[in-house]
Amino acid sequence: MDMEQLSAAVTAWQQALGTEHVLTAGEPLAAYTRNVSGLTRAIPAVLRPGSSEEVQRVVHIANQFRIPLHPVSCGKNWGLGSRLPVRAGAAVVDLSRMNRIREVHVAGHYAVVEPGVTQGQLAAYLRAHQLPLLLNVTGAGVATSLIGNALERGIGYFSSRADSLAGLEIVLGNGTLLRTGFAHFAGAHTAHHYRHGIGPSLDGLFAQSNFGIVTAAAFDLIPRRDAAMVVIVKIEHAHQLGPFVDALTDLRRRDIVQTVFHIGNRERTQIALGPLVYNQLARLDPAQDAAARRQWAEHLIAAEGFGPWSAVGGIMGSPGQLRVARADIRRALRGLARTLFITDGLLRTADAVSRPLAFIPWVQKKRVMLQAVQPLCGLALGQPTDEPMQSAWWPLGELPEAASDDPDQSHCGMLFCVPFLPAEGRVAQEAMDLTYRIYGQHGFVPFVTFNMVDSRALECVINMAFDRRQPERVAAAHAANDELTAEFIRRGYPPYRVGVQNMHLVVDPHDTFWQLVRDLKQVFDPHHIISPGRYNLV
């Protein structure tokens, strides 16, 4: 990189944004390079624009001085690179200051948001204004970006977020401001009601691409229904995974369950529930030894009967529809799995009945578990929470007190492998046989969730935990993850997203698809300014 060009660009960015919003040295800049994946990238600057107009200025200056940019919404892409660019030398464009909720349209059930708007912020807005709308949340924490996750095709508790955006506002790599769908018609009243507009639909070009910087979009919301419940389903034997997946797929196919089933292995359940149970025990007995409390938490989870695989899903409708769904689910899973149905009414009743009997050990255990699972049940009902984030620390033998709100700034290590699979029990079982074998060879335990996106597809989320202070474990983690990702691709199950270090595993210069993506880059970003190498050959 030409240092004179960089220096001139930094001066111009400081004039455009203010010096306080251009980071070039010290701890503020170093914080952007730390990441749970243990990757290393040199970042010359961090730019923090506060509006679409400022983003345009940033891009124009980058083109003038030929300095590449890497935009992030809130930078919480944990386990896949966090805030790092694919290639070293790109200045990070942090869009978290752009956090305005521009509009919430109740009848159209959408919100127009900027990339810095988090799922926690929008959920709080809906509650504060008592709007009859819910958010398709993920378990990634309240401070994660709606637009950023949707552009990476994240999967929520109600549906995939891939089709949740409409009427995008984008600063292209050449500095031009583009609006998609009907939004480019002045005064169009349907800009966010019908994403395709008229003519070629361009929205999809800006998901997992490096053609521009999305500065606003409409995000779909979910009309609140009369009643809701969470179903938790458990099997007792690992060999039942195939039939379990097939039974749940059939429930989706028949529209008995219309939201995403999240199917987790025992290891995933333990690290998700462990910190939550621990916290409840700490409230009961603050003086208890922390190590003993952790051991007791793990004992309670095992005693609760969470077997090798369990699933959670949300069901909404009228009270009558919920009664029918409950009966259908029990009938479909009879002899295969145990089912538990949880509603707000059940939780309130259980709390009221058990409180005066909490001196009885068995009752106390049940109260602890019910209170611990409430945040996880809330996810299935559209309520974001930070509680599951403590699972990043739990596998390292650490306690919730050590947890922070940003694992990037800790020593926790995390990598994700996310193959997309057909919703078939046989394939799920084969995928797990492969995963346990490869991870085991490298000395890691896999934490696995199958997200049943619909009746045809499973998003398989696999990760491991490691201590970033141990270089040999970091190297082993990357070796295991790379090998597993490559083997899934070889078997015909490519990932639906990859970490910044693994673009080469999916971007093939001999593939006509990627050749066309490269050619489109010339149209939107002729100087290759935006995120070089990100889901592209250039």
- Report residue 357's pLDDT band, with 50, 70 and 90 as the boundaries: low
Q: What string of DSSP letters covers 288-323?
A: S-HHHHHHHHHHHHHHTT--SEEEEEEEEE-HHHHH
351 has pLDDT over 70: no
pLDDT score at 360? 64
361 has pLDDT over 90: no
Length of the chain: 538
Give the CATH class of 3-96.
alpha beta
Give the CATH class of 227-402.
alpha beta
Domain boundaries, the chain: 3-96, 101-223, 227-402, 411-499
3-96 and 227-402 have identical folds: no
User: Average of pLDDT values for 27-46?
Assistant: 96
Quote the percentage of the chain above a pLDDT of 70: 97
pLDDT in tens, 107-125: 999 999 999 999 999 999 9
DSSP letter, residue 529: -
Both tokens of residue 317? 């409708």
For residue 234, which amino acid is it?
A: K
Give the CATH class of 411-499.
alpha beta
pLDDT score at 363? 61
Q: What is the sign, positive or negative, of the torsion defined by CA atoms of 159, 165, 171, 174? A: positive
| Matching CATH number, 101-223, of 3.30.465.10, 3.40.640.10, 3.30.230.10, 3.40.50.10140 | 3.30.465.10
pLDDT score at 355? 67
Ramachandran angles phi, psi of 449, nearest 5°:
-130, 130
Judge contact between 97 and 48, C-beta under 8 A: yes
Q: Buried (b) or exposed (e) across 425-445, using 16+ Cβ within 10 A?
A: bebbbebbebbbebbeebebe
pLDDT in tens, 232-281: 999 999 999 999 999 999 999 999 998 999 999 999 999 999 999 999 99
